[in-house]
Chains A and B, each alone.
Chain A
């Protein structure tokens, strides 16, 4: 069973270009989360999606950033007109939709390897 997959692993963009980051969740997972890690910092939540729905985008900048998780295909995080401050590692995580049968639900999130975006 393949884990969470992200591509590309490294992405270089010039200022003003668009960046598209892809995330394929684990098989059977219908919840996807995007996090951003700036240099020397922990991960910060950006957006939480289920299939075809954005559940929580409270961590996403209001402008230039958008995310989708279509019925078919990977989740996409899109950054338009990138600036140097967008340079970061972007991690995707996925989790199960259903509660576990026994014990409290853990909703463990499984992380992908990340996409390292560099804006020149």
Chain B
């Protein structure tokens, strides 16, 4: 069975400081991993994805994530937070092929001016 654990339900950072959103996964197969962002009352936007190519994945808006198989982690980072980054972030695993995505419970990121 596949599962995703987002270690923090809420992260608060000051504008201009680094962001770290933690995610651990469990999968029987070589998974595809994703980070999605959801702004209030909006749909989901794909930030970045890992599909067994480079382990360091760069996404949109300055976000990146590193796949670490030994730690079964896929943490999301950004060097400098912006007010517009305040949103809900979901770590997602896709076991293989056209299968349903498995979502973490989400991490709410707050950015303080």
Contacts and interface: CB of A to CB of B under 8 A. Distances in A.
A42 B106 contact: yes
Point out which of B42, B46, B94, B100 has the most chain A C-beta atoms below 10 A from its C-beta.
B100
B43 A114 contact: yes
B90 A31 contact: no
Nearest to A55: B98
B43 A112 contact: yes
Contacts, number: 64
A45 interface: yes
Interface string A95-114: 10100000111111111111
A35 B44 CA distance: 12
A52 B10 CA distance: 41
* Most chain B Cβ neighbours within 10 Å, of A42, A43, A107: A42
Interface centre among B32, B46, B51, B101 (most CB of A within 10 A): B101
A58 to B, nearest CB: 8
A106 B90 CA distance: 18
Interface of A: 31, 33, 35, 41-45, 48, 56, 59, 91, 93, 95, 97, 103-114, 116
